[in-house]
Amino acid sequence: MSFFGKMFGGKKEVAPTTGEAIQKLRETENMLIKKQEFLEAKIQQELETAKKNGTKNKRAAIQALKRKKRYEKQLQQIDGTLSTIEMQREALESANTNTAVLTTMKNAADALKAAHKNMDVDQVHDMMDDIAEQQDVAREISDAISNPVPFGQDMDEEELEKELEQLEQEELDKNLLDIAGPSKEELPEVPTDEIKQKAKEKKKEEEEMDPQMKELLAWAE
């Protein structure tokens, strides 16, 4: 409530929001800047009047310079007012930003609180322990799968070497037999029918020979 409101029992004033206050300050700044431009133009005008009447009308020139001084004083006051308004506007903008940030942080805190409402810290720790345990199990399974199976390590190496030597000896004996040729049992059978047929043909030829040829053959034998 303002001072006059307290004295005269006026209605309680409602404070504007920071956004409304910033908007009003910007409107005031624009108005004062326009007034600055007006005063600067007036100052230039009075200066030209003083120069024009400096030698012709000294009184008019002095009056122009006095008005110029008043305009310059007003312009100086406006400069100070604009500086004050600018600082106030910057403070309000900063406060508005802080308010927005705090509101957002409060909303985030409320949301985080609601998210944790149904959570028990002990249950979370138990869950993390379970996750760590399952990760250890998975790691052990991966290690077991990736390691080669120790197949055949329980076999007797000496026995395997003896078996290998036996196989090599059998292969060597087989090769020697192949080089020596077929055995007596494997020799091909002589075709007896063909031998008999040749003997008959030879005997027939001998019978058909003349006596002289027979004597000659007998002598040759």
Q: Consecutive 10-residue runs of the chain (221 residues): their mean pLDDT? A: 52 77 92 95 93 86 93 95 93 87 90 80 82 89 75 66 82 78 53 66 64 59 54
CA distance 105 to 206: 138
2-13 burial: b if 16+ Cβ within 10 Å, else e: eeeeeeeeeeee
CA distance 168 to 44: 125
Closest to 18 in 3D by CA, of 120, 93, 74, 78: 93
CATH class of 21-98: mainly alpha
- Any idea what DSSP says for residue 10? -
- pTM for the model: 0.44
CA distance 56 to 35: 32
Predicted pLDDT at 88: 92
SS3 of 15, please? coil
Predicted pLDDT at 96: 83
Residue 111: burial class (beta carbons within 10 Å; 0-12, 13-18, 19+)? exposed
